[in-house]
Each structure stands twice: as structure tokens, then as C-alpha cells.
A and B are shown apart, each in its own frame.
Chain A
Amino acid sequence: MATINFDSELRRAGANATGGWGRLAFLAQRHVLGTVGLIIMLLFVLTAIFADLISRYDPLTVDSAHRLAPPSMLHWFGTDSFGRDVWSRIIHGARISLAVGIGSTTLGATLGVIVGLASGYLSGWVDLVFQRVTDILQSLPLLVLALVMTAALGPSLPNVILAIAIPLIPTVARVIRANTLALREQPFVEAAKSIGMSEMRIALRHVLPNTIAPLIVLATAQLGSTILTEASLSFLGLGIPEPYPSWGRMLSESAAEYVRTAPWLVIFPGIAISLAVFGTNLFGDALRDILDPRQRG
């Protein structure tokens, strides 16, 4: 069952420390890759928060005198075809990626939990309807669905978040539903019934808190793919509209035309995307190992 005994797990693994920092140090030692992922994610978040301080130029300022300048001390990552500083654009792009990643993951997870909990707990026709809709949504790839949605809604930041969040719902709902179905049969839920609790209270106080661990694991794992989906949407011209710096758009603008003459326009946004996705995935994997030892494999 989805009951994680964190303290005894740690003790069994050999951790002596009971304090917060001691435990953290112990976990960091065991999950080196996860720690690397966490550091990458933290850097990513800090970059997004302090983008204005770190960037050296305004990311939107056009400077036609320095078009397509190669990396130099002046422009670390060079400039693009409008003379905009690539370093500054990548720094600011972190904001967009983070906003889309966290925004759509949170929205998708919240809606997914509601659907999954209702589906698993109420069962009957509610479950049947939700599950068939989920089947339909899941039969389309994440990107295709997001593409159709942005095309219909029009490209803007909130629309992109929504378009990426909705395809996430089925994945989250399935996991939560499966957990709810298992938890519903647990004696502590039966005990709650025999006490005379309302179904709502049982669902919210006894079932939901026990699905949190798998939810966190799933959400972290999905964070990387939402960032990637945003990049893909922007690459295809349906993501964040110009002139805001999105890594995906930066790639698409330059890929065809300048890949040979100004490769820095392709390399740096590419590295940024890869690093962000790599970091969240490493962290997500480690988190799964820590919170959910049974899924290890």
C-alpha cells in the first residue's frame, strides 16, 4: 500500500541523523544524481527569479549594429539576427519555462486529483464516464493534444499553460484512481465508515493524504516533459508569442537559417532545454526512489 514509513525507511537504510540537515545530507550522499538534479533545478529557479540581475542586457532590445555576433566577452552567448543578447534571452527564457512547467503541472495535477479521486471513490457510472474520457485523451500524444488546443485557443502564456495541463489530467487521474481503489479497501477506511464519517470526509481526510507521495513523484516526473512540450510548441510556432524569449522559439527561429553560420543560436537554447529537463528528471527519479521504494526497478 501507499504507506510510506519515512523514519524507519531512513533508519533501515542506516541513517543515524534524526535532524533535518543530517537526514538531507544522508539522502544527498545516497542519491548523488538526484542531488545533481536538485542543484540544476535550484539554479534554474534562481535564474528565473533573479533574471533581471543576472542578464546583462535587456532581452528584447534590438541592436542592429551587432547582428549575429559570435560569443565574446561582450556577448557571452553571442547575439541573434536582431542583435539581441542570447545570454539574456536564455536567462529570461527560464522564467517562461518555469512558469509553464510549474503552472501546467500544478493545474494538471489538481484537476487530475479531483477526477481520479471522484472516479476511484464514487465508482459506478461516474467512474465509467471519467475513465472513457480519459481513454480518449490518452489515445492522443501529449504534444498533438497540446498543439490542437493552442491552435484553437490562440498562443499566449495562460493558453499554453492550459493546453499543456489538460493532457496531463488523464495520467494523474489514472494514478490517483488506482491508489484510491486500493485505499478504499483498507481497514482504516472501513473503520472511518463504522465511525459514521461522511464519504466526503473519508475521501479528503483518509484517502487523499495517502495519495500525496505518488502524486509528488508523478508531478516531478511530468515537470520535465511539460517544459519540453512548451519548447516543442514554441518551436512549432504555437507557444509563447514573440517577442518574449522562449527557448523553443529561439531554437526554431535560428535552426534552419543560421545553424551553419551562427551555431551558438542553436547550441545554447538547446543546452538550456536539455539541462532543465535532465535536472528535473534526475530529481524526479531520486524522489521516486526515496518516497516509493517499491517502484524501484
Chain B
Amino acid sequence: MTEQRPLLEVTDLVKHYAVRGGVLRRQVGTVHAVDGVSFALGAGETLGLVGESGCGKSTVARTVLRLVEPTSGAIKLDGEDIAPLSKTALRPYRRSMQIVFQDPFASLNPRMTAGDIVGEPLTVHGIATGAKKQERVAELFQQVGLRPDQMKNFPHQFSGGQRQRICIARALSLGPRLIVCDEPVSALDVSIQAQVINLLIDLQRKQNFSYLFIAHDLAVVAHISHRVAVMYLGRIVEIADKHELFANPRHPYTQALLASVPIADPKAKRTAPLIDGDVPSPINPPSGCAFHTRCPYAIDRCKTERPMLQAAGTAHQVACWLNDGTGRSE
């Protein structure tokens, strides 16, 4: 979007989990949850992050917020690397980045009123107390389309969509510059999904923060994102401008992913072959390109050398040996 310094710049982010076994709890393997992910996110921009379950989308989200400690890599927020910071040193940065979770039922403390939940960040960061806090919370409630008189209600008295609005209000309370949305609508009814998505878009227009938007529903991602990154087995395989990605997918995995979206027309023909098999285990990911075990176009090089993201047209990067702009099999 912008040529100036991006708001968030993630470089070579890695998160490995140790698999321990046996009596002595020795490490018997490593889960490569996130395996060298890099991307940048400009101010006011929305980056959609898509991929199958277990591909590491949520781990990326949590690692960026340092809710999960990264194994290695840099997370630059406004040019400042927050990855090596201690918990105390990190606190001021927490104001700039917030998260909205998938499950609106589990992400609100059932023992606190909605008003207390939304107002708590203000107390914690010493921003407002007493009447001033109440005023700000009421304002936040209105911003997300809730009535201020609902502040004294408990989470269970709200519907799923309303709960997600409370989560959004909580995320907004500190005036963040980045909001990570970890599948914020996948637990909601389709009609409610649209409302929440539109609310998110609307809020972004007014307050100009950035979204890292994680989802597995391509239609939702297409609607909200400016750019889209496709993940497979802990790696970004393709990242491009939204229109470019949907019109001209270059990675075979992206092609298959887009082709798997059901089309509401029984006569429509599939344009790309569906892929067979399951996602390989992230404990021992395949050598070379992680996708070569399922790729219909795989060549020998794919099995040995890992392809890196490289430019393929304007605002388009792909990690595939065949798709450096020429290899797409017609």
C-alpha cells in the first residue's frame, strides 16, 4: 500500500514446539508450526492470512502479539523489534496491538460485566478511571453497535455476534494501531458474519488501524483484505494484492485452494485440479518445497530445494520453482 515504513514487519519468524516423550521427557521431535514467515503490513492496511487448519495461521497471530514466544525471527512494530523485549519492556507496546479471537463465548470472562471487560484495559494502563472510564466505555459500546445500557450485563446475556462486538470494543479501548483477528467470524452465523465484517471495515475506515486477518473462508478474506497471504505447513507460499491473487493465482496450492471454493452453479467447470491426500505432519515436514508431496506439477528440484518467496509481477510474490512468471502449466 504505502512505500514508507510499514507498521508491522515480520522477518523470518519461526516457532518450533518440542515434542517430548518417554520417562525422561526427552525431546523426540519438533513441530514446525511456523517455519520462516515474513511479511509486512502497512498502516490502515488489511492483510488476509489463509490456509488449512493446522497450517500455522493462528500461531503466527499469537507469535506476532508475543502471546507465544517466537523461536527466532524479528517482529518490528513501527520499526522497533519487539521479539527480544522482556515482558515488562513489552507492556507499553501492548497498547498498540490487540487481538480478537474466534470463540466469542470463551474470550469473555463469564464473571465480569461487559462494561468491566471493555473498561479493564483502561484501568490496567492507567488511562481512565471512575466516571471518565464509564464515559469512554459507553462511547466504545456505541462505536461497535451496542447500547451503553448493556454495560452492566454479563457475557451470557449476549448473543454470539454481540459478544464478538464486545471483544472488538475491548480491542479498540486502547486505541491500537494493529488488530489481529484470529478467525473472528467463523463461529458466527452467516448473516451475523456480514454484520461483524462490515463493522470491522467501518471501524478501520474511521480509525485507520491495520488488520492481520486470519480466516479459512476465502469469501470473507476477499471482502475485507487489501492483500492476501496463503500459508501452507508453516510457510507463506504466495502473497499478493487481493485482486491479483484471486485473478491470477500462481502457486499450485493457491490454485487448488481457490478451485475448492464451491461455486453456486451446477454447470460450472473446475479450472484447477483438486489436490489429493492430507497435509503432511508438521513434525517432519517434507524436504524442499513442503507442498511437493501433493503438487501435481512437482519436479525433482521441488523435493530437494526449498523455494523462497520471489517477485512474480507487481505486488505479487510466490514461493514456487515453476512459477517465477513462466512455469504455470497451461
Contacts and interface: CB of A to CB of B under 8 A. Distances in A.
Contacts of A186: 106-107
A3 interface: yes
Interface stretch (B120-128, B195-203, B297-305): B120-128
Indicate the size class of the contact surface on chain A. Answer: 20 to 34
A7 B155 CA distance: 12
Interface in A1-37: 1, 3-5, 7-8
Contacts of A81: none
B68 to A, nearest CB: 9
A187 B124 contact: no
Contact of B121 (A7, A187, A195): A195
Nearest to A210: B111
Interface in B150-205: 156-157, 167, 170, 174
Contacts of A197: 120, 124
Given A190-B99, A196-B91, A196-B125, A209 B111 contact: yes
A5 B108 CA distance: 13
Interface residues of B, number: 29
Given A188-B108, A190-B67, A191-B107, A196 B94 contact: yes
Contacts of A196: 90-91, 94-95, 121, 124-125
Contact of A210 (B91, B99, B109): B109
Nearest to B120: A195
B156 A194 contact: no
Nearest to A3: B110
B101 interface: yes
Contacts of B139: none
Given A7-B156, A195-B121, A196-B94, A187 B110 contact: no
Interface of A: 1, 3-5, 7-8, 186-188, 190-197, 201, 205-206, 209-210
Given A187-B107, A190-B107, A193-B67, 7 more contacts: A4-B110, A187-B102, A195-B124, A195-B125, A196-B94, A196-B125, A205-B112
